[in-house]
Amino acid sequence: MSDIFQAAARQEYQRAATQLKSGKDANAALKKSYERYDNLIAHSFDESSTKPACKAGCAFCCYYKVEARAHEILLIKDYMSKHFSAEKMASVLNTVTANATLIRALTPEQHLTTNVKCALLENNQCTIYPVRPFRCRNFHSTDAQACENSFHDPANMEIATGMIEEVAILADAHTQGFEAATEQTGRDNRIYDFNTALLEAFADEQTLKRYQRGKKTFQQALEII
Ligand code: SF4
């Protein structure tokens, strides 16, 4: 592990652990962590001689398999509950339900090579952008054409979209620092399939209580082992 990785992971771990210890749920700490992450990554992009090809309206990566931790799902639920109209919520949850049914019928390998349009994607924009999970934040590409090619040929794992190494290292380090802090403070740090977990978060009011008690948050959602 590089010194840069270790320093970034340690720094985020220390900050996040301090904030997590002072709150029942992880929402406030996670929002602060996302702010630090965005500043760190913006600075890293500025410093890099290679620039990402990503821009608003390009959303080929929003058809990839999405995984998330319980604290990320619960923050997204909170955000949707505060920002979505009843009509929009019903429409999104219909799509989440359809996606969850489709995903349950796929093997993990099939899911990896199947395009599933994210239920939170509208007009090629993420409707929960400020609270999108680390998995989505961490993805970037230096080759938009490769992203499009991958979208049209999702089973082709040879297509490389090209990430900027130093940015990817910092992104990964920050993410792992936060996740280590959640684990250290006794919270559920399992990885869940995004759609099946989001569906359960809305269907079962006990999910937040289980998270706050350090239990397995989602009992029906697909867990990624
Ligand atoms: S949560 Fe947002 S960024 Fe992530 S896949 Fe869905 S629409 Fe895209």
Q: Any alpha helices (H) in the chain, and if so which ranges?
A: 3-21, 27-47, 70-83, 86-104, 108-112, 134-138, 144-152, 165-184, 194-203, 206-212
| Spans of all domains in the chain | 1-50+164-186, 56-163+190-225
Q: How confident is the model at residue 22, as a pLDDT?
A: 83
Distance 139 CA to ligand 1 centre (A): 10
In this structure, which residue's CA is closest to atom 8 in ligand 1?
62
Rg (CA), the chain: 17
Place of tokens 């939170």: 120
Q: How confident is the model at residue 156, as a pLDDT?
A: 96
Q: Are the C-beta atoms of residues 181 and 20 closer than 8 Å to each other?
A: yes
Most informative mutation of 72, 121, 129, 192 for ligand 1 (most atoms within 8 A of CB): 121
Q: How confident is the model at residue 224, as a pLDDT?
A: 95
Q: Residue 140: which residues within 8 A CB-CB, separation 6 or more?
A: 52, 54, 163, 164, 167, 168
Pocket flag, ligand 1, residue 131 (CB < 6 Å): no
Distance CA 134, CA 132 (A): 7
Distance CA 189, CA 9 (A): 16
Distance 194 CA to ligand 1 centre (A): 10
Q: How confident is the model at residue 160, as a pLDDT?
A: 94
Q: How confident is the model at residue 25, as a pLDDT?
A: 77
Atom of ligand 1 nearest to the CA of 129: 2
List the pLDDT tens digit at each of the 225 positions of the chain: 589 999 999 999 999 999 999 877 799 999 999 999 999 999 999 999 999 999 999 999 999 999 999 999 999 999 999 999 999 999 999 999 999 999 999 999 999 999 999 999 999 999 999 999 999 999 999 999 999 999 999 999 999 999 999 999 999 999 999 999 999 999 999 999 999 999 999 999 999 999 999 999 999 999 998
Q: How confident is the model at residue 195, as a pLDDT?
A: 98
